[in-house]
């Protein structure tokens, strides 16, 4: 994180701004969302196939944006941002997946109309 | 007194995690890391909302209104385009900051603010239409979840717009100080994060709902 403290513009998180990366993040995000929309409404696919496509496209778009927008890497300036994100991602999906899993079996056993 | 109490080492602490440069602590880096960790906890709020969505989407409903009736995936691309373009404009403001071009930086940030406001306006228009069709949050579990997820994200965007307006004024008046640049970098994290969350909102709420 070494930089000239008297000039904040020399900070590595300022210096890592890049037109190319931001444009790439925009193109990647719009392309992935456009394809996801097309897959959902433009083709007669099974629900499992659509859900698989949506999951893959969401992963590509979100991981691509995380890297391109935040410039996450193992450099000294960004190491702990990257580590904290890598440790949060499993918690994010565990919270969603385990909740759906628990309510799926709860519904099958006790909910009205099951 | 012990020997330990009376002697002070003239040598600075060796480079390490806690204090890599004792004379020049990286206050900007510490602020952005702290705010980044806050955003990780914010992501867990959305995890809770997406989990509720996964449960509500198919299990419960007190209304005949289905997701396919209230969601138009193609129209959902409009707010997607507005938000992603706003994020791109903010990124270009970051590049202008890097190049020490304050007028260009303020113009790009102003463009980002206008596009963010257009995103919010589009959301208001879309949901006022739903309310007109009685697709209100009270109608079903799915609709309460749909309104909540979209508007929690919308509330983030509204807060970001207020923050961005304040940054526009501060940077125009004070220029690039350590304080304003640190706040700008935190706002950049916050604004970019809204685009990443929107990817999940659009794919799992808008598209999965109608698949």
Q: For residue B92, which residues of chain A lie inside 8 Å, CB to CB?
A: 19, 22
Are the beta carbons of A14 and B98 closer than 8 angstroms?
Answer: yes
User: d(Cα B10, Cα B140) in Å, to the nearest integer?
Assistant: 69
| Angle at CA of residue B190, ends B187 and B196, nearest 5° | 145
Instruction: Report chain A's C-alpha Rg in angstroms.
Output: 20
3-state secondary structure of A73: coil
Count of Cβ atoms closer than 10 Å to residue A99 Cβ: 18
Res A114 pLDDT > 50 = no
Q: For residue B59, which residues of chain A lie inside 8 Å, CB to CB?
A: 103, 107, 111
Residue B45: which pLDDT band, with cuts at 50, 70 and 90?
A: very high
Please answer yes or no on whether A2 and B20 come within 8 Å at the CB atom: yes
By CA distance, what is B82's nearest residue in A?
A: A30
Average pLDDT, integer, range A15-41? 96
The reply to whether ipTM tops 0.95 is no
Span B180-211, pLDDT tens digits: 999 999 999 999 999 999 999 999 999 987 77
Residues in Cβ contact with B92 at an 8 Å cutoff, skipping those fewer than 6 apart: A19, A22, B108
pLDDT at site B69 = 80
Among B169, B166, B158, residue whose Cα is nearest residue B191: B158
Span A87-104, pLDDT tens digits: 999 999 999 999 999 988
Burial of residue A44 (number of CB atoms within 10 Å: 0-12, 13-18, 19+): exposed
Please answer yes or no on whether A33 and B92 come within 8 Å at the CB atom: no
By CA distance, what is A40's nearest residue in B?
A: B211
Please answer yes or no on whether B192 and A99 come within 8 Å at the CB atom: no
Count of Cβ atoms closer than 10 Å to residue B110 Cβ: 15
Q: For residue B171, which residues of chain A lie inside 8 Å, CB to CB?
A: none
Please answer yes or no on whether B211 and A51 come within 8 Å at the CB atom: yes
Token pair recorded at residue A49: 């196939």
């Amino acid at each position: 994180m070494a930089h000239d403290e008297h000039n904040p513009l020399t900070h590595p998180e300022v210096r890592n701004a890049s037109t190319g990366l931001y444009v790439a993040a925009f193109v990647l995000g719009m392309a992935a969302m456009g394809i996801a929309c097309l897959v959902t409404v433009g083709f007669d696919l099974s629900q499992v196939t659509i859900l698989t496509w949506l999951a893959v496209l969401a992963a590509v778009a979100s991981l691509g944006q995380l890297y391109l927008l935040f410039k996450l890497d193992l450099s000294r300036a960004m190491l702990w941002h990257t580590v904290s994100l890598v440790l949060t991602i499993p918690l994010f999906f565990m919270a969603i997946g385990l909740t759906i899993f628990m309510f799926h079996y709860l519904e099958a056993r006790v909910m009205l109309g099951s | 007194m012990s020997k330990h109490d009376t002697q002070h080492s003239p040598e600075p602490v060796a480079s390490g995690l806690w204090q890599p440069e004792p004379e020049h602590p990286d206050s900007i880096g510490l602020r952005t890391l702290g705010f980044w960790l806050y955003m990780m906890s914010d992501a867990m709020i959305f995890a809770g909302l997406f989990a509720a969505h996964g449960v509500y989407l198919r299990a419960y409903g007190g209304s005949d209104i289905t997701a396919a009736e209230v969601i138009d995936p193609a129209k959902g691309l409009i707010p997607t385009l507005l938000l992603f373009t706003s994020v791109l404009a903010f990124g270009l403001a970051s590049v202008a900051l890097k190049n020490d071009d304050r007028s260009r930086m303020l113009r790009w940030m102003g463009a980002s603010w206008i596009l963010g406001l257009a995103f919010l306006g589009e959301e208001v228009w879309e949901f006022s239409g739903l309310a007109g069709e009685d697709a209100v949050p009270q109608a079903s579990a799915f609709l309460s979840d749909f309104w909540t997820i979209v508007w929690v994200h919308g509330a983030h965007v509204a807060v970001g717009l207020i923050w961005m307006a304040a940054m526009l004024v501060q940077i125009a008046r004070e220029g690039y100080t350590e304080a304003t640049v640190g706040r700008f970098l935190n706002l950049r994290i916050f604004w970019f994060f809204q685009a990443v969350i929107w990817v999940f909102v659009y794919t799992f709420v808008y598209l999965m709902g109608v698949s």
